[in-house]
Amino acid sequence: MALFKQHATHKSLLFMRNGIIVFVLLAFALATLFPIYFMVISSFGDPVEAGAASYTLWPSKFTLASYRFFFDYSEYSYRWLGNSLIVAACVTVSNVIFASLAGYAFSKIRFKGRNVLFAMLLCAMMIPYQVTQVPLYILIVNIFQMENTYTALIVPSLVTVYNIFLSKQFISSIPTEIIESAKVEGCSQLHIYFRIILPLSKTVMAVMAILTFMESWNTFFWPFLVTNTMDMQTIQVGLKSFRFANTTYFAPMMAGATISAVPMFILFFSLQKYFLEGVTVGAVKG
């Protein structure tokens, strides 16, 4: 800021500074958008041409044959999309409900051991994801024998520590006086949660919904571990069926990836207003 003020009157320095900023931002934007562009543009390529590993930034001809190939290739193509939608929707709804309940309890309800329990959750959040996969797999598959079921796909992600932390931090900013007034009027904890906390927490719940849905939809490793039949695979796992030892149906795979990205774009742009408010909110609106 001091450097900006010092050279604010030098037009040449301002022009150079703005030029560097624009160049860096454009570089980041291109690096971010290029994989999406390559995925979409490759999906319109000819399946035979792509099967021969002819990767180009602009196909020789545009066709929807790869999309037809994707749906005709396997009888489970629609089932993969349906499985992903069921799993992601259930995980998103459960995370929003349970994380907001836990966040309310940790921020506004005083009980013995609250701080210790929350500190343990924060420590659990720091454990790498890969470390927990083996014991979780043994628990789900060998002990509870839930392999190849929706339960195995959904239960381990019912609620995440990150969402609890996010919800707790947001609800802590809600004035306690509002809750105390509600208690004086005779409201129970559930009434306070549904009538006061939920309406005031729309922004953070939208953030949790978008981030959780995207993470669950894109997850590959866990569905790959706990499913062993094609009818229970999600779209991310099903796409690997287009790859073989000697060749890859690249264009149909990109067509499937493009189709799988559509729900995320719809969700993000439909909740974009709440998402932007959620990441910038600094005060509670009454």
CATH of the domain at 115: 1.10.3720.10
Q: Which residue has the tokens 């067509």?
A: 255
With CA atoms as reference, report the closest residue to 69 among 258, 211, 232.
Answer: 258
> Is residue 164 included in any domain, yes or no?
yes
The model's pLDDT over 63-94, given as tens digits with 9 standing for 90+, comes to: 888 888 888 888 888 899 999 999 999 999 99
The model's pLDDT over 230-264, given as tens digits with 9 standing for 90+, comes to: 889 998 888 888 877 677 788 888 888 888 888 88
CA 152 to CA 227: how far, in whole Å? 9
Mean pLDDT (whole number) for 106-116 = 89
The overall pTM is greater than 0.85: no
The model's pLDDT over 21-45, given as tens digits with 9 standing for 90+, comes to: 999 999 999 998 998 888 888 888 7
3-state secondary structure the chain: CHHHHHCCCCHHHHHHHHHHHHHHHHHHHHHHHHHHHHHHHHHCCCHHHHHCCCCCCCCCCCCCHHHHHHHHHCCCHHHHHHHHHHHHHHHHHHHHHHHHHHHHHHHHCCCCCHHHHHHHHHHHHCCCHHHHHHHHHHHHHHHCCCCCCHHHHHHHHCCCHHHHHHHHHHHHCCCHHHHHHHHHCCCCHHHHHHHHHHHHCHHHHHHHHHHHHHHHHHCCHHHHHHCCCHHHCCHHHHHHHHECCCCECHHHHHHHHHHHHHHHHHHHHHCHHHHHHHHHCCCCCC
> Is residue 11 included in any domain, yes or no?
no
> Is residue 28 included in any domain, yes or no?
no
Residues in the chain: 286
Query: 56: Cβ–Cβ under 8 A, 6 or more apart, which residues?
Result: 45
As given in the structure block, the two tokens for residue 208 are 């949790």
Q: Residue 104: CA atoms inside 13 Å, Cβ hemisphere, count?
A: 20
Taken in order 89, 92, 95, 98, the sign of the CA dihedral is negative
Structural domain count, the chain = 1
CA 144 to CA 7: how far, in whole Å? 67
CA 117 to CA 103: how far, in whole Å? 12
> Is residue 254 included in any domain, yes or no?
no
As given in the structure block, the two tokens for residue 73 are 């290739």
Mean pLDDT (whole number) for 6-11 = 64
Mean pLDDT (whole number) for 173-193 = 86
> Is residue 9 included in any domain, yes or no?
no
> Is residue 131 included in any domain, yes or no?
yes
> Is residue 279 included in any domain, yes or no?
yes
CA distances from 104 to 65, 173, 206, 248 (A): 51, 11, 16, 49
The predicted pLDDT at position 251 comes to 82
Beta carbons within 10 angstroms of residue 207's beta carbon: 23
Phi, psi of 84 (to 5 degrees): -60, -40
As given in the structure block, the two tokens for residue 164 are 């609890």
> Whole domain around residue 148: which residue ranges?
76-244+261-284
The predicted pLDDT at position 48 comes to 64
The predicted pLDDT at position 200 comes to 87
> Is residue 23 included in any domain, yes or no?
no
CA 220 to CA 30: how far, in whole Å? 26
